[in-house]
Amino acid sequence: GDSVTQTEGLVTLTEGLPVMLNCTYQTIYSNPFLFWYVQHLNESPRLLLKSFTDNKRTEHQGFHATLHKSSSSFHLQKSSAQLSDSALYYCALSESNNRIFFGDGTQLVVKP
């Protein structure tokens, strides 16, 4: 079945350094939608990025990701981390309009 793998449970870095959170997926569907959701402390998850176009960069709020179907990846990146980026980040996959599959999440901690 469909699945999403986020290899890092926790990423800790210093403010100003680049961010890269890994996401790979498995699906038999040839045209999946990929998402990044962000959840700040004591809040609910909200959509950060989405893409279904192969090899096209998508950007929002300083973050960007590119869907690469050849490697089944959708890594989240940002050039310079801010303290306010500290949050839980979920990569997610949808192959139909019914439901999406979430990864286990990566906790990003940005320190001064």
Partner 1 sequence: EAAVTQSPRSKVAVTGGKVTLSCHQTNNHDYMYWYRQDTGHGLRLIHYSYVADSTEKGDIPDGYKASRPSQENFSLILELASLSQTAVYFCASKGQTYEQYFGPGTRLTVL
CB of 7 to partner 1, least distance (A): 13
**Residue 71 binds partner 1 (CB under 8 A):** no
CB of 103 to partner 1, least distance (A): 6
CB of 33 to partner 1, least distance (A): 5
For the chain, the maximum distance between any two Cα atoms, rounded to a whole number of angstroms, is 42
Distance of CA 67 to the CA centre of its chain: 11
Distance of CA 31 to the CA centre of its chain: 18
Site string for partner 1, 32-51 (x = CB under 8 A): -x-x-------xxxxx--x-
- Residue 81: phi, psi to the nearest 5? -70, 145
The answer to whether 88 and 36 are in contact (CB under 8 A) is: no
The contact set with partner 1 (CB under 8 A) reads 9, 33, 35, 43-47, 50, 90, 94, 97-100, 102-105
